[in-house]
Chains A and B, each alone.
Chain A
Amino acid sequence: MSRLAIGAALAVLALALAFAARPAPETAAGRVDRVSSELRCPVCQGLSVRDSPSETARDMRDLVALRVTEGKSDDAIRDEFRAAYGDWVVLRPPLLSPAGLVWLAPLLLVAGGAFLALRLARATAPPPPGPPNAAALAALRERVARDEEADA
């Protein structure tokens, strides 16, 4: 009975911990922040719209906030900016676009390097020993016979 009680208590504790650690629902401001951090500021050098103090970035943040309050999805908001500025404006370019090469290039390089390394390793490895030829076999037999004579 006490084991059952301990098991139940542990289960309740685990459930309570899981409940407490669940991700909090994202607020509207949090969404504006997140989407803005994924957009590139057009008048800055490598800054996101969230991080830039420029007036253009502020206008963009305001537009993101407006679209969030209108209930637009993240994709719809990003697409609106992509329609105006191209894929360049998203800091994580979609995979299926010319800019998506930034994702594929490292994979291609690693795959190419691994292929080359494999080829080189194969080319420099010593050839596996094949079956002995007749001369080697004769020499071996002669040696065994000598050893046997010596032992006798």
Chain B
Amino acid sequence: MTRWRWLAAAAVVALVLVLALGFRRDPRDVRSGTVGRPAPAFELARLDGGGTLAFRDLAGQAVVVNFFASWCRPCKEEHPVLLRAWERYRTSGVVIVGILYQDDEAAGLDFMRRLGGTWPTVRDEGGRTALAYGVFGIPETFFIGTDGIIAGRHVGPLDDAVLTAAIEAIRPKAPR
């Protein structure tokens, strides 16, 4: 009978472990297969009509890829956060790329003109780039290190603390 007690105890411990691991996970942290992997390359048309922007053109810089749309209210809410980060980091090897998702070009351009922001914005026709990145819902932001690897992602509107911490983790460090 002692063996049975040990077996029951092991089953209870296993159950507690599974529950503990399950409860430790942030329920808002939806799954994505792309974190820790090379960022999918893209070449997309710029909203301002100035040709295309290719991911390879950004080599050597830390890249913040922000999927947004003009109809998305949380995108509007997080926009001032992106503006502040852009002003602070644009000269430190960090570039923000806004990717307009499931929206039309004119509306996206109007959104940027009204709210400001001079970072490059492009249009994801057909959502191919969003699908390659594993986007669930916008706003969604990916943080790509200078090595081209996706270091992290944030689902939902950004705040200053989250964006600053993520950029500090990927931005090129000045040589001492």
Contacts and interface: CB of A to CB of B under 8 A. Distances in A.
B164 interface: no
Interface residues of B, number: 19
B33 A83 contact: yes
Main secondary structure of the interface of A (DSSP, over half): helix
Interface stretch (B41-49, B55-63, B92-100, B130-138): B130-138
B146 interface: no
A86 B137 contact: no
Interface string A79-91: 0011111101000
A84 B137 contact: no
Nearest to A84: B134
B131 A63 contact: yes
A84 B129 CA distance: 10
Interface of A: 42-43, 55-56, 59-60, 62-63, 81-86, 88
Given A59-B126, A59-B128, 20 more contacts: A42-B30, A42-B134, A42-B136, A55-B102, A55-B127, A59-B127, A60-B131, A62-B126, A63-B126, A63-B131, A83-B33, A83-B34, A84-B32, A84-B34, A84-B40, A84-B133, A84-B134, A85-B31, A85-B134, A86-B32
Interface of B: 30-34, 37, 40, 102, 126-128, 130-137
12 contacts: A42-B30, A42-B137, A43-B136, A59-B126, A59-B127, A59-B130, A84-B32, A84-B34, A84-B134, A85-B31, A86-B134, A88-B31
